[in-house]
């Protein structure tokens, strides 16, 4: 954990629950900036009876993969409910990243099984609430409206429940990218999880993209091989 940073707490969540809400759903996403693979949204449900988060819960970016794997089952036991939703690379290409985030989030909401009274969303932009105009994607999903959304910048750093949601999202997406790496080993997704590392970019230049790449994004052009097999 970076020097000088403090551990997240449930202080802000208690304020929201103290205003009359019975169930709070905390939300975080991972994979928004990746070049390949899905965008993933994690959610946890808590209520006013929850007094403390599992020891060591932090924003997933501050934890080692090993630590995240230890914490994930503890978070699932701790939360009143939890869910993770995905939107694929092809869906991101079809509707754009914001609508894909909403699609993944609505899939997670549908999987929760209980409707929260308020939603705490990391960041400054509410991408979860459906827009007033007609849906931007063909598949509206099972959720057409959501509870009131409260956004909070750096909630994943300051709010334990949002940090917990980030751990669930990160571990599930990482596991998925590890599985996909067996199908497409050249891109080294077992190491880079689909992000723009030098090795990943070089593999795209040499071999082009595959069905798991976000082809609507600015990706490197494939280099043409010369007749002697050199690139």
3-class SS of residue 25: strand
**What structural domains does the chain harbor?**
11-174 (3.30.420.10)
- Tell me the whole-structure pTM to 2 decimals: 0.89
d(CA 38, CA 111): 17
Mean pLDDT by 10 residues, the chain (231 residues): 69 93 96 97 96 92 94 97 98 97 97 94 95 54 75 96 97 98 96 96 95 93 53 33
d(CA 109, CA 42): 9
Which helix (H) or strand (E) segment is 203 a member of? helix 198-207
Extract the tokens encoding 141: 């999903």
DSSP per residue, 71-85 = HHHHHHHHSSEEEEE
Q: Who's near 114: CB < 8 A, 6+ residues apart?
A: 23, 45, 80, 81
At residue 106, the pLDDT reads: 96
């Amino acid at each position: 954990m970076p020097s000088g940073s403090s551990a997240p707490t449930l202080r802000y969540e208690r304020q929201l629950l103290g205003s009359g809400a019975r169930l709070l759903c905390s939300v975080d996403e991972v994979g928004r900036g990746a070049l390949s693979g899905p965008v993933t949204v994690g959610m946890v449900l808590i209520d006013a009876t929850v007094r403390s988060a599992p020891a060591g819960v932090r924003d997933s970016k501050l934890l080692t993969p090993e630590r995240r794997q230890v914490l994930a089952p503890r978070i699932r036991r701790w939360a009143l409910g939890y869910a993770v939703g995905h939107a694929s690379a092809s869906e991101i290409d079809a509707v754009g990243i914001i609508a894909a985030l909403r699609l993944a989030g609505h899939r997670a909401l549908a999987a929760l099984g209980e409707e929260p009274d308020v939603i705490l969303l990391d960041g400054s932009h509410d991408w979860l609430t459906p827009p007033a105009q007609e849906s931007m994607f063909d598949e509206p999903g099972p959720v057409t409206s959501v509870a009131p959304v409260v956004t909070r910048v750096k909630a994943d750093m300051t709010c334990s429940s949002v940090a917990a949601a980030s751990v669930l999202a990160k571990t599930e997406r990482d596991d998925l990218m590890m599985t996909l790496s067996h199908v497409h080993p050249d891109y080294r997704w077992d190491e880079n999880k689909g992000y723009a590392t030098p090795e990943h970019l070089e593999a795209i230049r040499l071999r082009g993209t595959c069905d798991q790449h976000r082809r609507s994004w600015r990706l490197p052009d494939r280099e043409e091989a010369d007749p002697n097999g050199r690139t």
